[in-house]
Structure 1
């Protein structure tokens, strides 16, 4: 995807398709009347998913990072044909020659271990890993405080899912206006503010106030989660993007197991969960300042590109005040 379409396409997938699936799932379970039938329906839908990969062209950037130039040209021609564009073969040949020239000193089969050997990419990866670890703690804390609501778990699941749509619409509006870095920073500051209010009012709060905290907290969670996904995909080079995102996702799932033990600390001191999470989010704010801005930037393809991304920026550089400095590449111009 070219830079101008990344945010819209990603948030449409989450904001509309994922939203409809999450809202309807509890009611499908009730309609089917049996968990066995419900799990069978879920299994059948998952089985269908791999079929779609036969219709989706391979990432040209990934093919180029693996120096599979013939397959990259075939994928580009397929995209150009789908978009109704006629491109001379000489253009593709010149494009491949430029890629070969730029990849003379790059590693052909880079992996996650190679990423850790690069100082700036290693720092970026660890920062994003930290951001993903803090987020589920906040999500579970929200659920922990709304357990006192006498609401059906099916209704509660749908209520949580309804916040996905406004969160994604907010992301579409803000990400390309203020930039990824500024949005990540703002969301974390809002989370700290909401945690401060929660620690003061939640112990004696009325149901309406708790529900307000619940809705706002869910929206912030979804904005942060979707923003982190896109930001990570844009920061990590194509050659190791899949491995890096897989490692982050595994750490994310493993950390969820430990969260319930942390949520038991109110037995020691009531506002302790909010204090711990507030400190972690303030650390996340500081770490976000070390990340480069990716707004209107071409995605890094190799480890060398990832190391150079944002090397001329400062901690106070934000997309909303930074002029566009990079042109879109040939492969981006072929995108729909």
Structure 2
């Protein structure tokens, strides 16, 4: 879909045919990114999830963002730029032969034999052997789920999961709007657009690498809350200084922080959804976030009314997203839920731990 839409865009002549081709490209986005991200997280144990899942984002997404403006300048034509960015997508023809299906998803659908074939393939590649008792437990668990066929609709029927989805959606929407608005405000920061875009894009690599190495130490909630609140303060500071080096510096730092927040949220959401609805659930988060991004051009345009207004709006969104973050369950070091019941237990366990810590605050210490 990305190749068809991308190449088709080159030959468009008007607004509506161009918009249709970009719609085709858009249908490929979650498939190209989130599905692969989910597969990686499902096949890697909790100890290495953050490292393995995020290093590739830092290197390849960050590297692509940095090179894009200079590639555009070098080619000097948007149609040629589309040719260069579409051709590498031909690698997709190798995906069915190299990427295994999710054994977790196959298991959740009761397709136990196919799941075992995938696991046996991993045994051959890794040169390891799955203990027979573990494999037997896996088969029993898969057979129990054979007739469940859980869907995202079932997730919304569960009050704790419904509440989790709403708060995660609000948090994700806030981060997406901040991220996109900062990109749109780049041209008004007082520096050359291409240089400023490169600087703020360059924050992708160190910020995501930092997340990869600290997410399992600080936790998902802290590594979402702290960066988004810091982003709010940095943006307020940027509003109080004139255009130029100082504002660009603060904008770059804000982009660094929001990169951290969005990276943590992406993994956090993936870890909260049960296997049967993980892909559809995370895709829903993206759809809602993209819908929210519709507001970002208007936020950037509000500069015409008052030059500090977009900064104040974005800061307010950042602080609101921080509040929503506090309502979500921590998933650090916890196995990813397989069923809706597992996800409910995860949420209830977090609420129990939180309530217990609050009650313990009022208890006297051992020394006293």
Q: Distance in 2 between matches of 1:206 and 1:269?
A: 14
Q: 1:56 Cα shift?
A: 1.3
Q: 2:105 aligns with which of 29, 46, 62?
A: 62
The match for 2:197 is 157
Report which structure shows greater RCO (CA 8 Å, sep ≥6): 1
Work out the number of aligned pairs and report it: 312
Q: Which moved more, 1:182-191 or 1:225-234?
A: 182-191
Q: Which moved more, 1:141-150 or 1:215-224?
A: 141-150
The structure with more helix, counted as a fraction of residues? 2
Q: 2:319 aligns with which of 256, 269, 282?
A: 282
CA contact (8 A) 2:62 2:204 kept: yes
Q: 1:269 Cα shift?
A: 4.9
Tell me the TM-score normalized by structure 2: 0.77
Partner SS state of residue 311, structure 1: helix
CA contact (8 A) 2:161 2:343 kept: yes
Say whether 1:167 aligns with 2:207. Answer: yes
Tell me the TM-score normalized by structure 1: 0.84
After superposition, give the CA deviation of every residue in 1:103-141 in whole Å (9 maximum; x if it has no partner): 38xx63222222111111111111121112112332344
Query: Residue 91 and residue 141 in structure 1: after superposition, are their counterparts in 2 closer, same or farther (change >3 A)?
Result: closer
Say whether 1:113 aligns with 2:156. Answer: no
Q: 1:210 Cα shift?
A: 0.6
Say whether 1:310 aligns with 2:347. Answer: yes
Q: Distance in 2 between matches of 1:150 and 1:192?
A: 20
Q: 1:77 aligns with which of 116, 120, 123?
A: 120
Q: How does 1:13-24 map to 2 (within 5 A)?
A: 13-24=56-67
Q: Which runs of 5+ in 2 are unaligned?
A: 1-43, 356-368
Q: How does 1:191-202 map to 2 (within 5 A)?
A: 191-199=231-239, 201-202=240-241
Q: 2:73 aligns with which of 14, 30, 46?
A: 30
Partner SS state of residue 295, structure 2: helix
Query: Residue 278 and residue 315 in structure 1: after superposition, are their counterparts in 2 closer, same or farther (change >3 A)?
Result: farther
The match for 1:186 is 226
Q: 2:85 aligns with which of 16, 21, 42?
A: 42
Q: Which moved more, 1:285-294 or 1:307-316?
A: 307-316
CA contact (8 A) 1:28 1:38 kept: yes
The match for 1:294 is 331
Query: Residue 30 and residue 212 in structure 1: after superposition, are their counterparts in 2 closer, same or farther (change >3 A)?
Result: closer
The match for 1:132 is 172
Q: Distance in 2 between matches of 1:32 and 1:213?
A: 31
Q: Distance in 1 between matches of 2:353 and 2:195?
A: 43
Q: Distance in 1 between matches of 2:262 and 2:212?
A: 14
Q: Distance in 1 between matches of 2:85 and 2:229?
A: 38
Q: Distance in 2 between matches of 1:92 and 1:122?
A: 33
Q: Distance in 2 between matches of 1:188 and 1:150?
A: 24
Query: Residue 80 and residue 317 in structure 1: after superposition, are their counterparts in 2 closer, same or farther (change >3 A)?
Result: farther
Query: Residue 144 and residue 90 in structure 1: after superposition, are their counterparts in 2 closer, same or farther (change >3 A)?
Result: closer
Q: Which moved more, 1:244-253 or 1:262-271?
A: 262-271
CA contact (8 A) 1:57 1:79 kept: no
User: Once superposed, what is the RMSD of the aligned Cα atoms?
Assistant: 2.5
Q: 1:177 Cα shift?
A: 0.7
Q: Distance in 2 between matches of 1:88 and 1:237?
A: 25
Q: 1:178 Cα shift?
A: 0.9
The match for 2:129 is 86
Q: How does 1:128-277 map to 2 (within 5 A)?
A: 128-149=168-189, 151-199=191-239, 201-202=240-241, 205=242, 207-277=244-314
The match for 2:45 is 2
The match for 2:163 is 123
CA contact (8 A) 1:233 1:241 kept: yes
After superposition, give the CA deviation of every residue in 1:233-256 in whole Å (9 maximum; x if it has no partner): 001111111111222212222222
